[in-house]
């Protein structure tokens, strides 16, 4: 059985097993991990894979699994003790400013800059509803890139917002076309391979000293600033998934 809609998946959920295929994504609900794990345990094939969907849905999972491409000293903070240890380490290393990224918040709403590490600890250690979140040193970013990659289609544009450090276009930023160099494309390919993503929206940052780091990655994302339309991109993504389904990959 091949299922293309989540509504069909829920109807046939308990009857699925080896040989069945779900082409699509499980919506971001609290049951998403349980659904993906159960389907995988029963041998149901998923496109995109369960791993790709979990990484796409969680900034903390990205910081855990894709840490090698992120800024040095990027950390997943899952409790007060981890936060205190991280703040202590940052202070010891001379890192004075930091950025936190909250789970399940998009368009820059969950990104916060902290100029004082003690303030960060005092605010986020008061209760447990902030955890998990991602902690990173604050970087002096020269260029903020959004890359859209689906099979042979690649598009990149730089984002700029003169009114704040959040470069996202939803907050009033502007964009310009950007041509990726071979090393930047290779970084994107490595990230997609590690995250098992057949296509991706990848955010890279280039610092003033020329270093390139992964900021975030997702199976879907905003297209403000992109040349491709939403309908065209959806068609490319579906074609990619169908090609993988037919190849057995």
Are residues 155 and 231 both part of a single domain? Answer: yes
Range of the domain at 243: 141-247
Q: The domain spanning residue 88 has which CATH number?
A: 3.30.1490.20
Q: Per the domain annotation, does 233 fall within a domain? A: yes
Q: Are residues 78 and 122 in the same domain?
A: yes
Mean pLDDT of the chain, nearest integer: 92
Q: Looking at the structure, tell me whether residues 23 and 116 fall in a common domain.
A: no
Residue (of 67, 103, 90) closest to 194 by Cα position: 67
The Cα–Cα gap between 153 and 122 comes to 46
Residue 60 domain flag? no
One domain, residues 243 and 145: yes
Whether residue 205 sits in one domain with residue 124 = no
List the Cα angle 91/121/85 in 5-degree steps: 55
Asked if residue 99 is part of any domain, the answer here is yes
**Are 62 and 69 in contact, with CB atoms under 8 Å apart?**
no
- The yes-or-no verdict on residue 13 having pLDDT over 70 is yes
In-domain check, residue 232? yes
The predicted model gives 47-64 an average pLDDT of 97
How confident is the model at residue 248, as a pLDDT?
A: 77
**Judgement on whether residues 30 and 94 belong to the same structural domain of the protein:** no
Name the residue with tokens 């009114």: 163
Residue 65, in any domain of the structure: no
* Number of domains comprising the chain: 3
In this structure, the strands spanning 111-114 and 98-102 are antiparallel
Q: What is the mean pLDDT of residues 205-223?
A: 94
What are the Cα distances from residue 195, in Å, to 51, 63, 142, 202, 223? 7, 11, 26, 12, 21
How many whole angstroms separate alpha carbon 134 and alpha carbon 59? 7
**Domain termination residue (choose one: 113, 137, 161):** 137
- pTM as predicted: 0.92
Report yes or no on 57 lying in a domain: no
pLDDT band at 52 (very low <50, low <70, confident <90, very high): very high
Task: Assess whether 106 and 123 both reside in one domain.
Answer: yes
Give the pLDDT mean for 42-67. Answer: 97
Asked if residue 108 has pLDDT above 80, the reply is no
Q: Would 194 be classed as within a structural domain?
A: yes
Does residue 24 sit within a domain? yes
Q: What is the pLDDT of residues 165-192, one digit of tens each?
A: 665 555 557 889 999 999 999 999 999 9
pLDDT at 160 over 90: no
Proportion of the chain above pLDDT 70, given as a percent = 94
**Domain match, 120 and 37 both:** no
Q: What is the model's pLDDT at position 224? A: 86
Q: How confident is the model at residue 150 (pLDDT cuts 50, 70, 90)?
A: very high
């Amino acid at each position: 059985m091949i299922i293309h809609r989540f509504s069909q998946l829920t109807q046939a959920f308990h009857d699925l097993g080896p040989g069945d295929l779900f082409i699509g994504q499980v919506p971001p609900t609290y049951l998403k991990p349980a659904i993906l794990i159960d389907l995988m345990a029963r041998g149901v094939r998923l496109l995109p894979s369960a791993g790709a969907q979990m990484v796409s849905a969680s900034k903390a999972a990205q910081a855990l699994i894709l840490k090698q491409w992120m800024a040095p000293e990027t950390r997943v903070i899952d409790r007060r003790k981890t936060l205190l240890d991280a703040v202590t380490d940052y202070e010891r290393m001379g890192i004075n400013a930091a950025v936190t990224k909250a789970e399940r918040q998009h368009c820059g709403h969950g990104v916060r800059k902290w100029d004082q590490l003690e303030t960060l600890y005092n605010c986020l250690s008061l209760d447990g509803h902030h955890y998990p979140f991602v902690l990173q040193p604050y970087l002096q970013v020269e260029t903020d890139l959004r890359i859209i990659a689906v099979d042979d289609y690649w598009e990149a544009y730089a984002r700029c917002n003169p009114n704040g450090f959040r470069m996202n276009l939803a907050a009033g930023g502007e964009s310009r076309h950007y041509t990726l160099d071979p090393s930047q494309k290779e970084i994107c390919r490595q990230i997609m391979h590690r995250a098992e993503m057949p296509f991706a929206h990848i955010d890279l940052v280039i610092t003033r000293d020329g270093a390139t780091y992964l900021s975030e990655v997702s199976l879907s994302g905003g297209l403000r600033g992109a040349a491709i339309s939403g309908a065209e991109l959806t068609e490319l993504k579906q074609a990619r998934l169908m090609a993988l389904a037919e190849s057995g990959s």
